[in-house]
Amino acid sequence: MSNPCQQCGACCAFFRVSFYWSEAEPFLGGTVPPPLTEKISPQHVAMRGTLHTPVRCTALQGTVGAAAGCGIYPQRPSPCRELEPWAADGRPSDKCNRARAAHGLPPLDPRQDNPQRPDTPLPRAA
């Protein structure tokens, strides 16, 4: 199943993205490009564009809902990594669907190809 996170972009234009500053510190192994962040406290930074309305992360490229994606997807911060479109059991994420609704997009359907769904039998040992 394709990854809606690299097509939709609704969460990138809905949620504040704040995280511990070390994620943007290359010396400490951080991967988020520091120029794309702004300091919000001694311990936290946020992705530029996510602190004020209208929210639009500076790393977001394209048009929300049509063809949008993160320009730093492999380097994205932990809040972005943690926001999954589906739960482990295949149910759509409430956060994801809330962001989609704010942009007039339909909710995600449950995943039908998820092996962790409770109604999917486990493979038998050979």
Per domain, the residue ranges of the chain are 4-102
pLDDT band for position 4 (cuts 50, 70, 90): confident
* Mean pLDDT score across all residues of the chain: 88
Provide DSSP, 57-105: -TTEEEETTTEEEETTGGG--HHHHH--SB-TTSPBPHHHHHHHHHTTP
DSSP-derived letter for residue 106 is P
The pLDDT score that the predictor gives to residue 123 is 39
pLDDT over threshold 90, residue 33: yes
Query: How far apart are alpha carbons 25 and 68 in whole angstroms?
Result: 27
- pLDDT-based confidence at residue 96 (cuts at 50, 70, 90): very high
> Per-residue pLDDT for 46 more than 80?
yes
For residue 8, the SS3 value is coil
Instruction: Enter the DSSP assignment of 111.
Output: P
The residue-averaged pLDDT of 93-121 equals 80
59-87 pLDDT tens trace: 999 999 888 999 999 999 999 999 999 99
Mean pLDDT in residue range 86-111:
93
Residue 40 near residue 46 (C-beta atoms within 8 A): yes
